[in-house]
Chain A
Amino acid sequence: MYRLPLDALRFEVKNSILYKIDPRAKLTVSTIYALYTALTNNIYIHLILLGYLFIHLTVLGKIFRKTLRNIVILLPLVIIVFLANYIVTFSITSSLIPAIKLVNIVLSLNIFFLTTSPDDFSMTLEKLGFPITITLALSLSIRYIYVLSKTLQEIIDAQLSRGHKLDTGSLVQRIKNYIPIVVPLLIISVRKSILVAETLESRGFNEKIKRTPMITLTFTYIDSTYLLSSILSLILIHWITNYMVTFLA
């Protein structure tokens, strides 16, 4: 049975704090956490940060399942990173650091990407000064991941129904078996993009005219509180862990 994880690709709004926070605050927190994780090489900090990010996403975002699913999807890559490092260094601790670092960077970015709708994402970029053509293209691309995955599932169903076999023959033959899936998907994608362009033009879209947004992003005291408390939490984690490590040593 060839079933794509369509639900994982669909953006769902949940009634949680993270979904209501201004995307600019979330983007700042995500970037700071990801950069900090990338630059730190302390195993204890990484382990505490892993737990902290998990709790952050679960309690503030109510996205336990999505977070867990992302980690499970990432697991093969994490294992490869760990093994590759182990072969070179022969040290479990030194090999664990890049592996957990990878998970932590993904979890940090999840704070923004899993809880921000394509519309909010586009508005955030517009506020940051990106041209409308780029922000629109990006938000449309994110939106179309789900739409095209659904199309892909329907193509697979149609091809299987006409007796097409996907997992038979040699490796080359198996790759060839996917031609009837890829060709319709490409044609439908191109046709869909032309249709979207025509729809936008017929609705009066013009990049040269400055648009007036119906919904504007407002930075409230809740967003500031979230931003400050998140940065403070990171400083605390850094300070306490370093203190504990020095104290224990």
Chain B
Amino acid sequence: MIVIDNLWFGYHQKKPVLKGINLCIGEGELTFILGDNGSGKTTLLKHLNGLLKPNEGTVEVDGLDTRTTPVSELARKISIVFQQPEKMFYSPTVEEEVINTLSNFNLRISRREIINLLKEYGLEQYLDGSPYNLSGGEQRILTIAIMNSWNPKYLVLDEPTVGLDGIYREKLRILIGNRLEKGYTTIVATHDIEFALLFNAKLVVIHDGRIVYEGHTYDLINNKVVDKYGLILPTYSKALHMMYKKGILTDVRDYCGVFSEISVEVYRRCIDSH
């Protein structure tokens, strides 16, 4: 369990970026952290494995205080994938990139296992190629594949859908779904409301360094929190929202599943959750 208690942090003492964050993320949960640009999402994520230390308050991961626990110890438990994937690569081939990451945790992996891992994400043809020769989207999905390769208890994804085409988005959706089924915790910080709406997940909205809303991803469709904090709904959801306002539709479940394939998924999961 991750417990964030009254977290205050600023890169400059006078300008705090995070202003008293209180958050609890349970085991096996999927949490979406949404917020406008500069709201403090990435800064919050960097506190989870101790890359940044709080100015005030505490962050605890399974009872381990991030101020006193080394990052290398926390990294095995909590795997963070940052926005720019190319900053992680240094090995000449994709295969060595996987091996080098796992060797940091004294874990071994065979070539066959690496091929199987890459096959899951459709990247097996790049096994002996340089990770720098991959496209931006492929690099991102490769980073996610590598950082999830040892099934860390907590996987944290920072803007994972940027630059991903439909196929890779679907693979990412499956990956998150699989982790949920296995009981692993996943935290996703994103602007992509359409992607968040695919999941029956916990929702946290950050604005100006404060948590302004905590609820469920489906709350995004009919809650004012979206317009208020610079988050923009997908077009189909806007249309549904207007119909909801005019009384044509009365329940969120009525208007899910009307327009697109994504809304069908939302509808199905909505029914499951209620």
Interface residues of A (CB under 8 A from B): 1, 7, 151, 154-155, 157-165, 179-180, 183-184, 187-188
Instruction: Identify which of A1, A154, A163, A180 gathers the most chain B CB atoms within 10 Å of its CB.
Output: A163
> Given known contacts A154-B82, A180-B90, is B53 in contact with A1 (CB within 8 Å)?
yes
A residues less than 8 Å from B104 (CB atoms): 162-165
B75 engages A163 (CB within 8 Å)? yes
How many angstroms between the C-alpha atoms of A154 and B89 in the bound complex? 12
> Given known contacts A7-B12, A154-B82, A187-B132, is B88 in contact with A159 (CB within 8 Å)?
yes
A residues less than 8 Å from B82 (CB atoms): 154, 157-158, 161
A1 engages B87 (CB within 8 Å)? no
Complex: chain B residue closest to A160, CB-CB: B71
Complex: chain B residue closest to A155, CB-CB: B87
Complex: chain B residue closest to A1, CB-CB: B53
Q: What's the least CB distance linking A183 to chain B, in Å?
A: 4
B1 is an interface residue with CB less than 8 A from chain A: no
A residues less than 8 Å from B80 (CB atoms): 161
Complex: chain B residue closest to A154, CB-CB: B87
B76 engages A163 (CB within 8 Å)? yes
How many angstroms between the C-alpha atoms of A154 and B83 in the bound complex? 10
B238 is an interface residue with CB less than 8 A from chain A: no
How many angstroms between the C-alpha atoms of A164 and B104 in the bound complex? 6
How many angstroms between the C-alpha atoms of A163 and B90 in the bound complex? 14
A160 engages B72 (CB within 8 Å)? yes
B88 engages A162 (CB within 8 Å)? yes
B49 engages A162 (CB within 8 Å)? no
Residues 29-80 (chain B) with a chain A CB within 8 angstroms: 46, 49-53, 71-72, 75-76, 79-80
> Ordered nearest first, which 4 A-B pairs have the shortest CB separation?
A163-B104, A183-B90, A163-B75, A180-B90
Chain A to chain B contacts (Cβ below 8 Å), 5 pairs:
A157-B51, A161-B49, A162-B75, A187-B86, A187-B132
Q: What are the interface flags for B243-264 relative to A under an 8 Å C-beta threshold, 1 for contact and 0 otherwise? A: 0000000000000000000000
A1 engages B51 (CB within 8 Å)? yes
A165 engages B72 (CB within 8 Å)? yes
Instruction: Identify which of A151, A154, A158 gathers the most chain B CB atoms within 10 Å of its CB.
Output: A158
B147 is an interface residue with CB less than 8 A from chain A: yes
B residues less than 8 Å from A187 (CB atoms): 86, 132
How many angstroms between the C-alpha atoms of A183 and B132 in the bound complex? 11
Q: What are the interface flags for B1-38 relative to A under an 8 Å C-beta threshold, 1 for contact and 0 otherwise? A: 00000000001100000000000000000000000000
B87 engages A160 (CB within 8 Å)? no
Other-chain residue from B11, B86, B101 in contact with A188 (beta carbon distance below 8 A): B86
How many angstroms between the C-alpha atoms of A180 and B52 in the bound complex? 20
B213 is an interface residue with CB less than 8 A from chain A: no
Task: Please name 8 further chain A to chain B contacts, defined as beta carbons within 8 Å, in addition to the given A151-B87, A161-B80, sorted by A numbering.
Answer: A1-B50, A1-B53, A157-B82, A161-B79, A162-B101, A163-B72, A165-B72, A188-B86
B residues less than 8 Å from A154 (CB atoms): 82, 84, 87
Other-chain residue from B52, B72, B75, B76 in contact with A1 (beta carbon distance below 8 A): B52
How many angstroms between the C-alpha atoms of A7 and B79 in the bound complex? 28
> Given known contacts A7-B12, A157-B46, A157-B51, is B75 in contact with A184 (CB within 8 Å)?
no
B89 engages A184 (CB within 8 Å)? yes
Complex: chain B residue closest to A159, CB-CB: B88
B105 is an interface residue with CB less than 8 A from chain A: yes
Complex: chain A residue closest to B89, CB-CB: A184
Complex: chain B residue closest to A179, CB-CB: B90
